[in-house]
Chain A
Amino acid sequence: MKSYISEFESKDKPKDYYQKLLEELKGKNRELHVFNNLNEDLRDGFPFSVKDNICVRGVESTASSKILKTYKPPFNATVVERLQRQGFAFLGKTNMDEFGFGSFGINCETPARNPFNVDYVAGGSSSGAAVATSILKYHVAVAESTGGSISAPAAFCGVVGFTPTYGVVSRNGLIDYANSLDKIGFMARSAADIRKVLNMSVGRDEKDTTSLDARLRDEPKIQFSVINQLMNGLDDKVRSAFDKLLEKLKSMDYKINYVDLKDIEAAIPAYYIISTAEASTNLARYTGFKYGFKVGDFSKRYNDFFTEARMQFGSEAKRRIILGTFVRGASVKNRYYVKALKVRAMLGEKMRRILRESLIISPTMSITTPKISEVEKLSPVQTYALDMLTIPPNLCGFPHVSFPYEYIDDMPIGAQIVGDHFNDYAPISFVENWEGKFKYRFKYNIGAI
């Protein structure tokens, strides 16, 4: 089993290793917009990057939003604290869709670009995390997923992206998108490295009430379930590649089982209702005078004052605030917000039944990596629909991993494996196994020794 972390530790690094790494990275960053900032003081330890919506003490943490420019949190996120205590070295803050609002990484000032081809999207919202993982040889990324923000960019950038069971990694220090859905997870070039950092990061944290002290299982399953309803609407190329993957799995003695899960289509509306409802309250605090963007003109009335501050939000953020404010309004709340909570509980129960006996497998995205120019033309509803495969496990808090399994026209594509709650190591174990039969391709190997 390949572990870059073990390999790095066993190697003698040249004295100027970190300095050279930073220099090379800065050059690439100008082209790919991977990092919002880099740690100039980098030294000693295995480098880890942090998605820009996760707080690092004294380091500008903006969630790629103009409204948080200059915000330097006075505390570390728990996950950052834990990795640093294990001797990992903070490398920098990675680019993302503003506040995590996006599937392609384009909802920010300077979108990250796909390292395999700069005309293509990196995926989102953890765009920079995926690109960093794809271009750096020795590195892990701390990322975050609400509805697919780890799986999607991991698939488009050809890396492993893991999202744990909701609550097993503390969210303390995360700049919230939707608290009941947000999960801090990881990206790496090998499943073994994911296992290592996950192991260091889990465990109850007094600072996050929803964090759990659960013992994570590694309960292997030889059966994979394919949910029929999720196979509708796959791009032809994705479909045939995925079918080939299933054949390969059969040859590896896994069993493939096709199941129906009729109501799964309700996952998208339920997700967008809950996530925007929560997001619209989370974003209410950005009023322009305590941190981040400051209005300055205190002669204004308060309504005008915070309205001016909130003009800093990008259009997707504004859309989600409006949508979220609407769905929790008194007159429609039972039709939307309350119903969505019920759908989430119902779908969770149905998926759990499948996950008791098997892992769920699907392509990560229903399309191959799109060009930036293509996704810019999509309507919001079309864009939201593209999250169909990543939303169900995210909505219901199931652990899942996206791993590359094929390259189409020199671009990677990924598949996603979902496990039962707290059986987090099972999807990781599978990918470790898969890696024995698969050769990763990377276009860059920055920091190779």
Chain B
Amino acid sequence: MKIGLEVHVALPTKTKLFCSDSTSETREPNSQICPICVGFPGSRPVLNEEAVRVAKSIAIALNCRVREDISFIRKVYFYPDLPKSFQITQLSESIGSDGFLELEKKRVGIRRIQIEEDPARIIREEGYTLLDFNRSGIPLVEIVTEPDITTEEELREMVFTLRTILHYQGVDVNQEVKTDLNISLAEERVEIKNVTGIKNLIAAAQYEITRQGAIIKKGGVPEKETRSFDAASGTTKTSRKKESEEEYGFIYEPDLTVYDTKNLSENAMRIPTKIAMGLAVKHKANYSTILELIAFDTGALNLINEFEEEFDFKTIIASLEIMKRFGEPANSGVFKEILGLTDQKIDITRDVLKKIKAGDKVEIKKFSEPQIDETIREMLNSDKTIVEKYKKNKNVVNFIVGTISKKYGIQPRDAAARVEGVINKL
């Protein structure tokens, strides 16, 4: 089996690719538009340098050859969402090419990374179609992979790895990513166009693997065609039989000059998988645990880096997991205190977190073990029958365990063990 992807992601820029309209989310349709992104005659595109800068960073992060003199092309087709009836995109002179994505056990080739403009949003209603040009001209990168993915597991790993790298380049990975999926179990390539979102991408692949597999089992051959994915039913269906390639009549975009990318400063190159591996080796820690913590949380990585020298690595990881468990964002400022308490083996309960957040002092009561045992003995002495009852039902000391746990800030489990120890010694 061979799978290749064409992934489209919106770049994190404040303004559109060829005009100065905002890219921010808005409820009001057609409120962030101008003659350029609606394609009015007489208007012309002016390239957003920031979009090129981020695209260059992504290309470097994906080990691509970065082109110094990029140019743009016109891809001509007629569709109501395409205001000029051509899309300004890139082909042979695109920002990146010949890269790869490092997975745990293999490399997936990146054929090309190209910068292009998003078309308008189509809203289909009963009997008519509406167009929202707010999306028209949003900068995208299209990442074209080689058909190197051979299992569903690899597909998942590839998508995860790509997303985490993009996250570290500032891309909003929660956006609705649009993907074209090429998948062939036999010779001919089946393309599933415009799959929206990651869940659907996996579902489309799963369905297609099953569908093509069934054809082959029956002795048939899956045909070369373009299919579309229906999210509601989780199935793909034929949208066009491909006798020949589409004809887009590419020409150079003559309104944009050759653009020199040499002097664009790229983002810091942080590849989360590599970083997690580095940390795991350095601290003899678990790679997956680290990756899971930092994959979509640059803040967590920043905290690791900040406290790595000062604290035990296991304590840092434990503290980050506590943060994650309570849904505390890495930048919430409570981390340092959690870290300090964890370091002193203080259990962080929701109550403790509340106190930290309220700015209350969490009292760290340090008692010696004999002192704790003495308290237990005192409580046991107040009711002579308890020890006898305890032999039949251990629950009778629950109130003692609770009190000890609270008073000395130790885990209930540990408190119970202490109580049992004292009783046994009596």
Residues in chain A within 8 A of chain B (CB atoms): 54-55, 61, 63, 68, 71, 73-75, 77, 171-176, 178-180, 206-210, 277-278, 280-281, 284-285, 287, 289-292, 298, 302-303, 306, 325, 328-330, 333, 337
Contacts and interface: CB of A to CB of B under 8 A. Distances in A.
Count chain A CB atoms within 10 A of each CB in B85, B248, B249, B256 and give the residue with the most: B249
Contact of A290 (B74, B83, B247): B83
B44 A180 contact: no
A298 B172 CA distance: 37
Given A68-B41, A285-B83, A285-B85, A206 B254 contact: no
Contact of A302 (B40, B79, B245, B249): B79
A298 B128 contact: yes
Given A74-B35, A209-B46, A284-B76, A277 B41 contact: no
Contacts of B45: 209
Nearest to B246: A330
Count chain B CB atoms within 10 A of each CB in A55, A71, A287 and give the residue with the most: A287
Those 9 A-B pairs whose CB atoms lie nearest each other, nearest first? A284-B85, A179-B254, A180-B254, A55-B42, A328-B249, A175-B41, A285-B84, A173-B42, A281-B74
A290 B76 contact: no
Contact of B44 (A171, A277, A287): A171
Given A175-B42, A281-B249, A328-B249, A209 B255 contact: yes
A77 B128 contact: no
B128 A284 contact: no
Given A172-B44, A285-B83, 4 more contacts: A77-B42, A208-B44, A210-B256, A292-B41
A328 B249 CA distance: 5
Contacts of A281: 74, 76, 85-86, 249, 251
A8 B260 CA distance: 47
A170 B273 CA distance: 48
B340 interface: no
B47 interface: yes
A126 B323 CA distance: 71
A302 B77 CA distance: 12
A174 B42 contact: yes
Contacts of A175: 41-42
B39 interface: yes
Nearest to B38: A290
Contacts of B35: 73-75
B80 interface: yes
Count chain B CB atoms within 10 A of each CB in A63, A173, A289 and give the residue with the most: A173
B160 interface: no
13 contacts: A54-B42, A68-B41, A75-B43, A180-B254, A208-B44, A209-B46, A210-B255, A277-B251, A278-B251, A281-B86, A281-B251, A284-B84, A290-B83
Interface in B224-253: 245, 247-252
Nearest to B42: A55
B41 A206 contact: no
Interface string B143-166: 000000000000000000000000
A73 B42 contact: yes
B78 interface: yes
Contact of A176 (B41, B128, B256): B41
A330 B74 contact: no
A331 to B, nearest CB: 9
B395 interface: no
Contacts of B43: 75, 172
Contacts of A208: 44, 255
B257 interface: yes
B78 A284 contact: yes
A213 B74 CA distance: 26
Interface residues of B, number: 32
Contacts of A176: 41, 44, 255
B78 to A, nearest CB: 6
A280 B84 CA distance: 12
Contact of A328 (B47, B251, B256): B251
A438 B248 CA distance: 53
A75 B38 CA distance: 14
A10 to B, nearest CB: 35
A298 B128 CA distance: 8
Nearest to A287: B85
A157 to B, nearest CB: 26
Contact of A209 (B44, B80, B251): B44
Contacts of B46: 206-207, 209
Nearest to A330: B247
Contacts of A179: 44, 254-255
Contacts of A74: 35, 40
Contacts of B47: 209
A209 B255 CA distance: 7
A68 B42 CA distance: 12
Contact of B251 (A55, A68, A337): A337
Given A209-B255, A281-B74, A290 B39 contact: yes
Contacts of B74: 281
Contacts of A206: 46
Interface string B60-92: 000000000000001010111001111000000
A175 B85 CA distance: 15
A63 B40 CA distance: 13
A55 B43 CA distance: 9
Nearest to A54: B42
Contacts of A280: 76, 249
A278 B254 contact: yes
Nearest to B77: A284
Contacts of B252: 180
A329 B251 CA distance: 10
A300 B392 CA distance: 84
Interface string B14-56: 0000000000000000000001001111111111000000000
Contacts of B248: 330
Contacts of A54: 42
Contacts of A290: 38-40, 83
Contacts of A68: 41
Contacts of A277: 249, 251
A370 B181 CA distance: 60
A285 to B, nearest CB: 5
Nearest to B47: A209
A73 B41 contact: yes
Contacts of A284: 76, 78, 84-86
Nearest to A75: B35
Nearest to A68: B41
A418 to B, nearest CB: 22
Nearest to B36: A207
A143 to B, nearest CB: 16
B80 A302 contact: yes
B257 A210 contact: yes
A329 B249 contact: yes
Nearest to A212: B257
A58 to B, nearest CB: 13
Count chain A CB atoms within 10 A of each CB in B40, B128, B245, B256 and give the residue with the most: B40
Interface in B245-297: 245, 247-252, 254-257
A325 B247 CA distance: 10
A63 B42 CA distance: 11
Interface in B121-139: 128
Count chain A CB atoms within 10 A of each CB in B39, B80, B86, B254 and give the residue with the most: B254
A104 to B, nearest CB: 24
A61 to B, nearest CB: 7
Contact of B78 (A61, A173, A178, A303): A303
Nearest to A71: B41
